[in-house]
């Protein structure tokens, strides 16, 4: 079952690429539930629209009027799912969350 499912995910991603959706992350359905919370979806959408202007996690939390700890926790989950990454993690640099892919989709129920 896992091999078939992985093949279907790859086939789905290939079909999306053929339709000019490049740099696509296909999340498993189980992981999709973790992303599709209102707060995490909001973070992804905000980063998509305003990510180039975000200086740090604190800056993102301030702009969204959210607790920095809660934003950090949501970002950690999104990073574990390969949806975001951090730039500027050098000495004294603020961690700046950025989208890792142009498109994030959840695998279809039937494909």
Query: What tens digit of pLDDT does each residue of 14-54 get?
Result: 777 777 777 777 777 777 777 779 999 999 999 999 999 99
Q: Is 111 inside any structural domain?
A: no
pLDDT of residue 1: 46
Give residue 66's region: left, alpha or beta (phi > 0; psi -120 to 50).
beta
Q: Is 42 inside any structural domain?
A: yes
The domain in which residue 21 lies consists of 2-106
Give the closest residue to 78 by CA, choosing from 48, 53, 55, 108. 48
pTM for the complete prediction? 0.76
Domain count, the chain: 1
In sequence order, which residues have a C-beta less than 8 Å from that of residue 4 and are 6 or more positions away? none
Is the Cβ–Cβ distance between 44 and 99 less than 8 Å? yes
Which residue intervals of the chain are DSSP H helices? 2-18, 29-35, 38-50, 57-64, 68-80
Is the Cβ–Cβ distance between 100 and 23 less than 8 Å? no
pLDDT of residue 27: 77
The enclosing domain of 25 has a CATH number of 1.10.10.10
Residue 60 has pLDDT above 80, yes or no: yes
pLDDT tens track for 88-105: 866 667 899 999 988 888
pLDDT of residue 66: 98
Residue 25 three-state SS: strand
pLDDT of residue 26: 77
Q: Is 47 inside any structural domain?
A: yes
Residue 111 has pLDDT above 60, yes or no: no
């Amino acid at each position: 079952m896992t091999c078939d499912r992985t093949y279907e995910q790859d086939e789905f991603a290939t079909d999306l690429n053929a339709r000019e959706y490049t740099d696509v992350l296909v999340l498993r359905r189980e992981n999709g539930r973790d992303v599709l919370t209102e707060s995490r979806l909001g973070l992804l959408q905000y980063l998509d629209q305003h990510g180039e202007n975000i200086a740090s996690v604190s800056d993102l939390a301030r702009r969204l009027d959210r607790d920095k700890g809660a934003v950090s926790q949501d970002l950690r989950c999104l990073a574990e799912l390969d949806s975001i990454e951090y730039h500027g993690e050098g000495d004294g640099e603020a961690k700046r969350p950025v989208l890792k892919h142009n498109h994030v989709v959840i695998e279809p129920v039937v494909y």
